[in-house]
């Protein structure tokens, strides 16, 4: 009977231990990979004055992005022809993922982003 009890416990707990170990390995690989992470920001371009969405490459521990991977200002988003002054303004700190919150919300008076609060309609 003890053998059956041990087999049941192994069948129930074993897969959870394997899943946890694999999860820790994947997390360690992501943290210590050394490859730059990608960061997407929507902001007002310091050169054109338009609201753009740019994707930056950020090395681990850097205060500012090392490179601009793509930008909506240019027709070919991967071919950026400016001096890339926007790298100074990109917020590269770790924090709560913006994917948790809706990025764009449609309202009666236009579009509201996560950066600008919605205006309350007059009651």
**Boundaries of every domain in the chain:** 37-113
Rounded Cα distance between 121 and 123, Å, is 6
Alpha helices in the chain (DSSP H): 2-31
* Residue 62 in this model has a pLDDT that exceeds 90: no
Q: Model confidence over 110-123: pLDDT tens digits? A: 555 555 555 555 55
pTM: 0.49
CB atoms closer than 10 angstroms to residue 74: 13
Q: What is the mean pLDDT of residues 41-67?
A: 83
Rounded Cα distance between 64 and 2, Å, is 60
* Residue 26 in this model has a pLDDT that exceeds 80: yes
List all residues 6 or more positions away from 98 whose beta carbon is below 8 Å from its beta carbon. 114
Can you give the pLDDT at residue 108?
45
């Amino acid at each position: 009977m003890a053998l059956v009890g041990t087999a049941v416990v192994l069948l129930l707990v074993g897969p959870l231990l394997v899943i946890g170990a694999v999860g820790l390995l994947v997390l360690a690989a992501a943290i210590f990979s050394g490859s730059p992470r990608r960061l997407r920001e929507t902001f007002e371009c310091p050169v054109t004055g338009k609201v753009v969405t740019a994707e930056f490459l950020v090395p681990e521990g850097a205060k500012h992005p090392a490179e601009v991977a793509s930008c909506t200002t240019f027709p070919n988003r991967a071919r950026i022809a400016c001096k890339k002054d926007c790298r100074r303004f990109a917020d590269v700190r770790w924090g709560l993922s913006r994917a948790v919150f809706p990025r764009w919300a449609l309202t009666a008076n236009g579009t509201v982003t996560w950066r600008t609060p919605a205006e309350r309609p007059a009651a």
